[in-house]
Amino acid sequence: MPEFIIPLVFICVLCLILFRIFTIRWTFGEAGVARKLESLQRKNKEYHPFNNIILKTPDGTTQIDHILISPYGVFVIETKSFKGWIFGDAHQKRWTQSLFGPYRSSIKYQFQNPIHQNYKHVKAVQDFLGIDSKSIFNLIVFAGYGEFMTKMPENVVGLYDLIPYIESHAEILFDSEKTNNFSRKLSDYVEHAPYNEESHMENLVQNMEHPICPKCGKPMILRTARKGAGAGSEFWGCPNFPSCRVTKNVL
Ligand SMILES: [Zn+2]
């Protein structure tokens, strides 16, 4: 048996274990939120929770962690399971996660502001249910062991503040009939599930290769920058330019 086989097997097993830990941690956060929402529903039947919903958007599909329909509004929830220190505010484009490395060092990672990331989901739910922006709430839950190091906007909460935050919205926005209609509409949609994770992934890949304008829903056109620092470089532009100025980088 060649000598390198044993270390190779060892590395493979280690990779598998690490992968498993990461995937468990990932699903753990969402399962935690789903359980909290179920317990809320057991307490008050007017809350209707839904998990992992794929909805249509102008440029493809979008995957939403949780939607909670209630007389007090519709909550669109994005779950993050991060460890370490979390830095961010409502307006920053990117937030920072700081993990502790060896010898008191720290490793920093940047990620998209989850409030911005969840806008797209909020918009998709709003279009699907046909409701105005005053009755829908963009809510971010950090369900891991992360610790907020900056003052977070009120719609960014830890797992244990999720239910108090939802219950703090006590103003009735929809009557029972309307609430039940929204819930039925989403249940029917889920039952007939026009999209699955596979088609959602296909959409994402296709959108990377040839993007569709997220505002107009039209295939974008490859253009060359004439002016500025990036002159000569290619980018994707909307065919409705100049009325639509959406651009995307070529990957
Ligand atoms: Zn456009």
State in Å: Cα 219 to ligand 1 middle. 9
Looking at the fold, whether 88 and 115 belong to one and the same domain comes out as yes
Looking at the fold, whether 85 and 182 belong to one and the same domain comes out as yes
Residue type, 56: K
Whole-prediction pTM: 0.75
Longest dimension (CA), the chain: 73
| Protein residues near ligand 1, an ion, with CB under 5 A | 213, 215-216, 238, 240, 244, 246
pLDDT of res. 210: 81
| pLDDT tens-place values along the chain, 251 residues long | 667 777 777 777 776 666 555 544 446 788 899 999 999 999 999 999 999 999 988 888 899 999 999 999 999 999 998 888 999 999 999 999 998 877 777 888 888 999 999 999 999 999 999 999 999 999 999 998 888 999 999 999 999 999 999 999 999 999 999 999 999 999 999 988 778 888 888 877 777 778 888 888 888 888 888 887 778 888 889 989 889 998 888 87
Looking at the fold, whether 216 and 233 belong to one and the same domain comes out as yes
> What does the alpha-carbon distance between residue 213 and residue 209 come to, in Å, rounded to a whole number?
13
Domain count, the chain: 2
* Token pair belonging to 97: 């996660």
Looking at the fold, whether 185 and 234 belong to one and the same domain comes out as no
* Domain boundaries, position 79: 5-209
Looking at the fold, whether 128 and 160 belong to one and the same domain comes out as yes
State in Å: Cα 140 to ligand 1 middle. 28
Looking at the fold, whether 203 and 218 belong to one and the same domain comes out as no
Looking at the fold, whether 76 and 55 belong to one and the same domain comes out as yes
Looking at the fold, whether 164 and 242 belong to one and the same domain comes out as no
DSSP 8-state code for residue 140: E
Looking at the fold, whether 154 and 194 belong to one and the same domain comes out as yes
Looking at the fold, whether 145 and 248 belong to one and the same domain comes out as no
* Token pair belonging to 68: 């909670």
The residues pairing with 204 across neighbouring beta strands, listed in sequence order, are none
Looking at the fold, whether 88 and 154 belong to one and the same domain comes out as yes
